[in-house]
Amino acid sequence: MDGLERYRGIVPEFERLIEAIVRPLPVTARINTLKTDRDRLLFRLREAKVPFQPFSWYSLGLKLDVEKPGNLIENLMGHIHVQEEISMVSPIILDPKPGERVLDLCAAPGSKTTQIASMMVNRGLLVANDPANTRVASLRSNCERAGAINVVVTRYDGRRFPSHEFDRVLVDAPCTGQGMARKDLSVLDRWSLKRSLGLQRLQRALLRRATDLAKPGGTVVYSTCTFAPEENEAVVSWVADQVERVRLEKVSIPGLESCPGLVEWDGSLFGDEMEKCIRYYPHQNDTGGFFVAKLIKE
Amino acid sequence: MWWSRFGTPLSTFEGVSFYRKGRNVWAFSLPEIPDMRCESVGLRFMSVRGRVWKPTTYALQLFGRFATKNAVDLGPDQAEKFIAGEQQSLEADLEDGYVVVSHRGDVLGCGLYTRGELVSQLPKERRIVKEGIENCLSDGDS
């Protein structure tokens, strides 16, 4: 738990975070509207006596009271996708529309990719990129099960993704994953400042490339599942400074408790603009931890 | 081909492009493949071996509900066998060959029907054996 102590000063009700982090995450899933609709799916679950509780803040999200959601027949049919609740936030912030050209730069294993594909109603183009060969297999398998026909899978190094114009780009960056400690507590022991700073170089390069790839007026969303400001505000503020014609837009999701991004951390000033970003802590909504920023290219 | 086998109206595939690569036909949302080094483009729709073609389970899960023939809706026990990957005897109004298999109106996947026997074609990694089924297949009146 030592890895969390450094956040005592920035997390509201820090003791509640410590309590929450040792509790396992609720089992949650998203309804895949490419293959079913909400009423039909909920009817199926009720008939089959599968206990569930819809999210209050997102009509397509469900808490499932089952041990192995992967063995549900609705999962086999691709009518639901088992996905952590808070990770459903970044596609909602990205807000992709049918017919657009969208890039998911760090896509594997494809939870957010398939959510984006369903928001696009299988129209337009969704490029799902991930450099790792092993991870691309799970990405492809999830896209198949979801019934996504508008997805192209690529395997470029995201920092050097070839020049194309996109309406929207999601950078769900590789990170130290502290926000996922409820899945695997050992991520907290594996954290070190050195690891955060090493990833920061990669994250900055990925987000910078994403801003190149967005067309004028386009949207770039940056998200991580870690608390470390080195991988969050320090990345977004650096790119906002480095790249001209990029501005931050305020992020908010009604119905979810959150904190604004940090203006400063450990002697580094990120600027008031960073309050437009959003932080979600596990005890606020009984989820994992998450960070999201939204940038608009002018 | 889908029309003659499954009676699927052509409007089902409005806005969908198809292209062939090797032995597979893929369904894709755009008429042109983007100028990128692609690992995959769209959804694998069917495989073709000479004159024999086989729809993928994923294509049937997406488009199979529009089938008007060579489609069968299984009862709970039959569906359980099907998703476990088993073969079973089945009396149904089906022509021999690949069929759309559903349960309570939702498509489970592709089956091969030959002389009164239905063989599940579900990919091995998607099969669910009996003790693993959380969602019991309800017949709706329980």
Residue B30 and residue A150: Cβ atoms within 8 Å? yes
CA A158, B45, B125, A83 dihedral sign is positive
Contacts of B133 in chain A (CB under 8 A): 71, 73
Residue B140: pLDDT band with limits 50, 70, 90:
very low
**Mind listing the pLDDT tens digit for each residue in B96-120?**
999 999 999 999 999 999 999 999 9
Q: Which residue of A has its CA nearest to B56?
A: A144
Do the beta carbons of residue A109 and residue A135 sit within 8 Å? yes
Give the pLDDT of residue B125: 84
At the topology level, CATH places domain B2-137 in Nuclear Transport Factor 2; Chain: A, (3.10.450)
Residue B132 predicted with pLDDT over 80: no
Can you give the residue ranges of every domain in chain B?
2-137
List residues in chain A touching B: CB distance below 8 A: 34-36, 40, 44-45, 47-50, 66-69, 71-74, 76-79, 122-125, 127, 136, 140-141, 143-145, 147-156, 162, 164
Residue A144, classed as helix, strand or coil, is helix
A16: phi then psi, degrees, rounded to nearest 5: -70, -35
Distance from CA of A145 to the nearest CA of B (A): 6
What domains appear along chain A, each with residue ranges and CATH number? 84-297 (3.40.50.150)
Subunit contact A149:B126, Cβ cutoff 8 A: no
ipTM of the complex: 0.93
What pLDDT score does B133 carry? 52
Q: What is the pLDDT of residue B99?
A: 97
Which of B37, B57, B18 has the alpha carbon at shortest distance from A153?
A: B37
Number of Cβ atoms within 10 Å of the Cβ of B8? 21
For the cut 70, the answer to whether the pLDDT of residue B131 exceeds it is no
For residue A214, the model assigns a pLDDT of 98
Whether A225 sits among the annotated catalytic residues: the reply is yes
Confidence of residue B135 (pLDDT cuts 50, 70, 90): low
Chains A, B: CB contacts within 8 A come to 114
pLDDT tens digits for range B19-73: 999 999 999 999 999 999 999 999 999 999 988 899 999 999 999 999 999 999 9
According to the model, what pLDDT value does residue A1 have?
Answer: 60
Contact criterion met (CB < 8 Å) for B62 and A35? yes
Q: Does B134 have pLDDT greater than 60? A: no
pLDDT, mean of each 10-residue run, chain A (298 residues): 87 97 96 98 96 98 95 95 98 98 98 98 98 94 97 98 98 97 94 97 98 98 98 98 95 97 96 98 98 97
Residue B109 — φ and ψ, nearest 5°?
A: 160, -155
